[in-house]
Amino acid sequence: MNKLTETDVKKQIKDCLYSVGALPVSIWQGLMSRKGTSDILVCYQGKFVAIEVKRPGWKPPGRNAKSYKHYYQQKEFIDEVQAAGGIGFFTTSVEEVVERLDLQVELYPLFNMEHKKT
């Protein structure tokens, strides 16, 4: 059975975004990073987009879960992006990104293409 990982989904999303002329940037989280910053920050058609990528099948944790604090920080960042006029959301698939951003792209055979990094 072929299960996609969060890393696989991130790569698909970035490849898709490159294919429509967007500029996706992955953020490495470290000690000096802002807690909760989304996995992929994007400039697309003059819009700021924050995408928090989760593995397929992911559901938000309950308040008593160990991962709740981290989820809350991510949600807080997305809420701030939206309050500032940007677009921010959690996703578990490239298909959802295409839908949320209303991208005009055929996903297949997109994943057989290489994107250019400039």
What is the per-residue pLDDT for 21?
Answer: 95
pLDDT band at 104 (very low <50, low <70, confident <90, very high): confident
Tokens read off for 54: 């989760």
CA separation for the pair 59, 68 (Å, rounded): 11
Question: Please, are residues 40 and 51 in contact by the beta-carbon 8 Å criterion?
Answer: yes
pTM: 0.86
> What residue ranges do the domains of the chain occupy?
6-102
What is the per-residue pLDDT for 7?
Answer: 93
CATH class of 6-102: alpha beta
| pLDDT tens-place string over residues 26-38 | 988 888 889 999 9
